A = this chain, B = another copy of it.
């Protein structure tokens, strides 16, 4: 099933949309956070009448399981360039996430350009290792997207103590085109950075995720990099960058995750 189908929403009434959490988009039973956000943001973009999630923030309230969901949207402000929308994604018995986002049209964007860094340096896609789900590991979600890790990163996964950092290639299965809403999946698709360290942490639930979409991606594989600098106070941040095949920064992300007491 394509992401487009798995995150589709249909109008249910004024500001209300119905959708479904599709099976197989989970990490040990809980639907991937970027995927849940994509469902909510798809409804919000439709309500906004503007396609691009320029900046969206999700606060995660409860794990999502396969089955029907409702999205309740509220237009906070419709301005000249952006429409700000609040959206609640509600599962069968409880709210799953709350989103606040400003949507725009990135075709209209322009201005001075200056980049202090470029895309992550990665081996060619064919020299990287796919993460393919088996019956037990990694999680089913990894079968919904295509991730390729540089061999040295793949080897570090759950193995040796390195920096809390991961980078690699991303695309959707069957070369499904990646629209700006699909970037919300890309920014939450990689294994947590902390899994590449020797820290005794098995699970880092996301409290909040913010993504900025800078441009609509060109077709092809995306280069992604995720870094954590500060594991402290019971939390860690994970900063993401996504670059398209044309070498443009298309998205930036930061999430705040809980580091369970060890």
Contacts and interface: CB of A to CB of B under 8 A. Distances in A.
Interface of A: 54-55, 57, 59, 61-62, 76-77, 79, 82, 84, 86, 88, 95, 98-102, 106, 108-117, 163-164, 197, 199-201, 207-208, 210, 212, 214-215, 228-235, 237, 248-249, 252, 254, 256, 259-262
A100 to B, nearest CB: 4
B233 A214 contact: yes
Contact of A261 (B88, B101, B102, B110): B110
Contacts of A98: 76-77, 84, 86, 100
Contacts of A55: 59, 207-208, 256
16 contacts: A55-B207, A57-B208, A62-B77, A77-B95, A82-B207, A84-B98, A86-B98, A111-B235, A111-B260, A112-B231, A112-B259, A115-B232, A116-B163, A208-B210, A215-B233, A230-B252
Contact of A201 (B112, B201, B230, B261): B112
B230 A214 contact: yes
Given A59-B55, A95-B77, A164 B235 contact: no
Contact of A102 (B82, B164, B208): B208
A-B pairs with lowest CB-CB distance, top 6: A109-B234, A214-B233, A111-B259, A57-B57, A100-B100, A55-B208
A114 B197 contact: yes
Contacts of A237: 212, 252
Given A111-B259, A232-B249, A234-B111, A61 B86 contact: no
Contacts of A164: 114, 116
A91 B237 CA distance: 33
What's the number of copies of this chain in the assembled complex?
A: 2
A117 B164 CA distance: 12
A96 B85 CA distance: 14
Contact of A232 (B108, B228, B248): B248
Given A86-B100, A102-B207, A114-B197, 6 more contacts: A57-B100, A111-B234, A112-B199, A112-B262, A215-B233, A230-B249
Contacts of A232: 113-115, 214-215, 248-249
Q: Which of A55, A62, A197, A228 has most chain B Cβ within 10 Å?
A: A55
